Amino acid sequence: MQQDQKPISDAYQAHRPYLVDLAFRMLGDIGAAEDVVQDAFSRLMGTEVGEIEDYRGWLIVVTSRLCLDQIRSARARRERVHDAAEIEFIAPPAAGLADPADRITLDDRIRIALLVMLQRLSPAERVVFVLHDVFGMPFGTIAETVGRSAPACRQLAHRARRKIAAGQAGLGLSDLGPEAVGEHRAVTEKFLTACTTGDIGSLLEVLDPGAWGELVLGPAATQRGPVVTGAQRVARNLVRFWGKGTTLVSLSAAGQPVLLGFVDRKLTAVFVLIMRDGLIQAVQVIADPHLLEFVAAQLPQLA
């Protein structure tokens, strides 16, 4: 007897944004991430009633294994990686910037390049690093997912951290402490889930009451939309433009969290979340075509 569809439908609504985010961090391809998560839910529908007690945990394991299979089987088809000088050419810092928001935007254009570093990790290193260091899963659980011992997974994570740290040093970036990383991760996860499910109440829980937001269409001051102030107005705008039918995935690294927004699997915006004391102080939605073209070119392409 197969599963009742109502609990699975509820699980899809509750956990799909998280799972797509997790899969994207491993695969770097939004289409592949969405397909993997759809496959995981299809497998869930084929299980027997009462076989699974924890849908979320089961889906995380299945999604992770499917991602690992894809990474292992994908042919090595890489786009040429831009070096730091080329990134700086794409987003040259203007002299004498008066607006701190401009500096944040330009700095995070460099941080986005950290995604490229995941390409330097082996398939097992990438999966272990994403599951443990990004999503905070214990090594015992990860060991079952990747089919290795917990000590071996610890070693894989250690090697991955060294490679990531070397890349950060090359870009002149410092990493956040573990407590800040965990806090940012929790807030970012709640933010992206609330946006894509249209849950204004949950959005207000992570937005500072005086939060502000703006749309950035280019580096010039004239290419910015009006600043929206107040958590209620910011939340309504986010749900209006980034509610159901869109996909958000996280790209947090050194500095403030960054998210990528996709519509019909096309990169449409980069979100920079300015966070302080566990709340989001500001949301910059960057739709600069030049930046989007660059970011899209950095995403690993699967065969």
Specify burial of residue 50 (Cβ count, 10 A radius: 0-12, 13-18, 19+). exposed
Does pTM surpass 0.75?
no
Could you tell me the pLDDT band of residue 115, with boundaries at 50, 70 and 90?
A: low
pLDDT higher at 303 or 134:
134
Q: Which amino acid is at 211?
A: A
| Domains of the chain, CATH where assigned | 1-74 (1.10.1740), 179-298 (3.10.450.50)
Taking all residues of the chain, what is their mean pLDDT, rounded to a whole number? 77
Q: Look at the block and give the residue holding tokens 């294994």.
A: 65
Could you tell me the pLDDT band of residue 137, with boundaries at 50, 70 and 90?
A: confident
Question: Could you give the count of Cα atoms lying within 13 Å of 292 in the half-sphere of its Cβ?
Answer: 18
Q: pLDDT tens across 220-265, in order?
A: 656 778 889 999 999 999 999 998 888 999 875 445 577 889 999 9
pLDDT higher at 97 or 68:
68
The pLDDT value given to residue 53: 83
Check pLDDT > 80 for residue 97: no
The pLDDT value given to residue 17: 92
Could you tell me the pLDDT band of residue 277, with boundaries at 50, 70 and 90?
A: confident
